[in-house]
Chain A
């Protein structure tokens, strides 16, 4: 019986090709848009995740941070982390493996007549181990550089290329904010992300950067640390918060003036963002599927009216109400499911094309669950919006239906 119903439904859909297509268009657009957007959002998220994971999961970053909820907060001195904070943490927390402060700024690098704006990081030698990012040619900054506040730098590939320093720039001098600095090494290439190069930076000794840029930079000091035992990461986080609150003399009812983030926290916040986007998209798509469903219901009602006589004939030769109900229900489910399948394919193609159109886009990814969900949801739409017309058909009185012209 089911096979017969499917055959009947396909025949009726084929008999009204254009109408069926227009009917399913709502579903097609809804499903295609959800698959497209999910494929892109998930693609971005996956790339971020991979990058975070490359950095190692045992990193904790502490940065000055104040939740500004009102004007008074804004008027206060901006919070900062000090070198003493870093030393105390290193000394008091047993699990700390490597700990180093880092300072962020920007600079203008130049060589001969070439100028290039770049990020300036004041780092400790441990930076390499903490971030899992190593020097390719030359050497990294060492403790002597730090101690003597040497004017040396390690460059990202992008800066090397922009300043046309050639294949081996080690030993050459460049100007960083008009201060002559010797290039001692070049870092491994990381590539680009969203069209933004991740190799556009200048590393210099922490102390040298503070010297060049002045005391103002202090509020840009972060502390990075790795721990030896990953299972204790939350404990360590608690300890850090406790120590820093005491050191910063924060009262019981006040918020922290710093933020402690593990790699997991960062991933989590990304995950939160993606899931919010996904939810919003799902909402929009839900609405468009309802609109699509109404379209299907409308056309199924037309179909029932058009085929009143057929329904009468079928009842006269022995069809039960259930037979008729299923016949029309199967038809609406096939309509919406076809729309769903076309939508999934179209969404894939669109997601692929868009990811190719955006330069350096990380590539799309559609989770299997998304496809299953789109599939289930579109068949559900077929059932929900098909029930009423099908029920109407099943309830027709055979005598009236036979008389219908």
Chain B
């Protein structure tokens, strides 16, 4: 295995069987992502980008093919192994923010650290550091419904980063935001990328897609185009 490859997908397919009909949501995709890369995935709805994202994030496992993360085969893991990787190696940012509504911003960001078994005092330091970095330290005792969309997404990004994951997976992170906030959030992603984090960003907006280093375009579960920006 090449040490300089973070993620390697080897003819990965995800096939859904609906009675007699087979639906190939992801069709033999091979892909390499280097550490520090900022990759965009574009495609219309139904193109398979969400399924690909779920496979990359170990929320789903491929029907065929192999997925190597840091050289380790992670194509089929048991619940505990998958949970550990989701916790330590992957940071998720979603379109709908997906914050836990009963918890404060602080507690939302703290959650991955609890599952990682980090002691309370250390958790506080880490959470405060990332909230500060995202510029929302003053809102940390607010519940999600007391925050604006942009603030919520900042909390979500802080949560994705607290365990210092190898890769940040962002699924339409600006889909629910206005253009001004979109610009701010994209600026944050660039900043995080500058600091060396690997980012995979799924979008259907061409403007956003153009902001990444490289963009792959999906259609019917296949890569139809690779654009170097």
Cβ–Cβ < 8 Å partners of B84 in chain A? 318
> Which positions 44-74 of chain B face chain A at CB distance < 8 Å?
54, 57, 59-60
The answer to whether B79 touches A320, judged by C-beta atoms less than 8 angstroms apart, is: yes
Cβ–Cβ < 8 Å partners of A318 in chain B? 83-84, 86-88, 112, 115-116, 163
The answer to whether B112 touches A317, judged by C-beta atoms less than 8 angstroms apart, is: yes
The answer to whether B92 touches A316, judged by C-beta atoms less than 8 angstroms apart, is: yes
Proximity string of chain A (371-405) to chain B, C-beta cutoff 8 Å, 1 when within and 0 when not: 00000000000000000000000000011001000
> Which positions 182-221 of chain A face chain B at CB distance < 8 Å?
none
A1, A310, A312, A321 — which one has the most chain B CB atoms within 10 A of its CB?
Answer: A310
> Which positions 137-187 of chain B face chain A at CB distance < 8 Å?
159, 163
Question: What's the Cα separation between A398 and B101 when bound, in Å?
Answer: 17
The one of B54, B102, B117 that contacts A12, using a Cβ cutoff of 8 Å:
B102
B59, B88, B114 — which one has the most chain A CB atoms within 10 A of its CB?
Answer: B114
The answer to whether B98 touches A402, judged by C-beta atoms less than 8 angstroms apart, is: yes
The answer to whether B102 touches A319, judged by C-beta atoms less than 8 angstroms apart, is: no
User: Which residue of chain A is the closest to B57 with respect to CB atoms?
Assistant: A316
The answer to whether A317 touches B59, judged by C-beta atoms less than 8 angstroms apart, is: no
A309 at the A/B interface (Cβ < 8 Å)? yes
Main secondary structure of the interface of A (DSSP, over half): helix
Chain B positions near chain A (C-beta within 8 angstroms): 54, 57, 59-60, 79-80, 83-84, 86-88, 92, 94, 98-102, 111-112, 114-117, 159, 163
Given A315-B86, A317-B87, 7 other A-B contacts at CB below 8 A?
A315-B83, A316-B59, A317-B86, A318-B115, A320-B80, A399-B54, A399-B59
The one of A15, A312, A320 that contacts B83, using a Cβ cutoff of 8 Å:
A320
The answer to whether A319 touches B83, judged by C-beta atoms less than 8 angstroms apart, is: yes
The answer to whether A4 touches B114, judged by C-beta atoms less than 8 angstroms apart, is: yes
A323 at the A/B interface (Cβ < 8 Å)? yes
Question: What's the Cα separation between A295 and B26 when bound, in Å?
Answer: 44
The answer to whether B114 touches A1, judged by C-beta atoms less than 8 angstroms apart, is: yes
The answer to whether B60 touches A314, judged by C-beta atoms less than 8 angstroms apart, is: no
A107 at the A/B interface (Cβ < 8 Å)? no
The answer to whether A313 touches B116, judged by C-beta atoms less than 8 angstroms apart, is: no
Give the total number of A-B pairs whose CB atoms are below 8 A apart.
Answer: 60
Cβ–Cβ < 8 Å partners of A242 in chain B? none
Task: Name 16 A/B residue pairs within 8 A (Cβ), A-sorted.
Answer: A11-B102, A309-B98, A310-B100, A310-B101, A316-B59, A316-B92, A316-B98, A317-B92, A318-B84, A318-B86, A318-B115, A318-B116, A318-B163, A319-B83, A399-B60, A402-B94
* A236 CB, min distance to chain B CBs, angstroms: 71
Question: What's the Cα separation between A313 and B96 when bound, in Å?
Answer: 11
Question: What's the Cα separation between A316 and B53 when bound, in Å?
Answer: 12
* B49 CB, min distance to chain A CBs, angstroms: 14
A11, A315, A317, A402 — which one has the most chain B CB atoms within 10 A of its CB?
Answer: A317
Proximity string of chain A (302-339) to chain B, C-beta cutoff 8 Å, 1 when within and 0 when not: 00000001101111111111110000000000000000
Question: What's the Cα separation between A256 and B67 when bound, in Å?
Answer: 89
Cβ–Cβ < 8 Å partners of B101 in chain A? 310
* B154 CB, min distance to chain A CBs, angstroms: 16
* B23 CB, min distance to chain A CBs, angstroms: 15
Cβ–Cβ < 8 Å partners of B115 in chain A? 314, 317-320, 323
Proximity string of chain A (9-23) to chain B, C-beta cutoff 8 Å, 1 when within and 0 when not: 001100100000000
Cβ–Cβ < 8 Å partners of B60 in chain A? 399
The answer to whether A398 touches B100, judged by C-beta atoms less than 8 angstroms apart, is: no
* B58 CB, min distance to chain A CBs, angstroms: 9
Cβ–Cβ < 8 Å partners of B94 in chain A? 402
Shortest 9 CB-CB contacts between residues of A and residues of B: A318-B87, A318-B115, A320-B83, A317-B112, A313-B98, A310-B100, A321-B79, A318-B86, A398-B59
* B108 CB, min distance to chain A CBs, angstroms: 9
* A317 CB, min distance to chain B CBs, angstroms: 4
Question: What's the Cα separation between A398 and B92 when bound, in Å?
Answer: 13
Question: What's the Cα separation between A313 and B112 when bound, in Å?
Answer: 10
User: Which residue of chain B is the closest to A14 with respect to CB atoms?
Assistant: B102
* A105 CB, min distance to chain B CBs, angstroms: 76
User: Which residue of chain A is the closest to B163 with respect to CB atoms?
Assistant: A318
Cβ–Cβ < 8 Å partners of B87 in chain A? 317-318
User: Which residue of chain B is the closest to A5 with respect to CB atoms?
Assistant: B114
The one of A15, A317, A321, A402 that contacts B111, using a Cβ cutoff of 8 Å:
A317
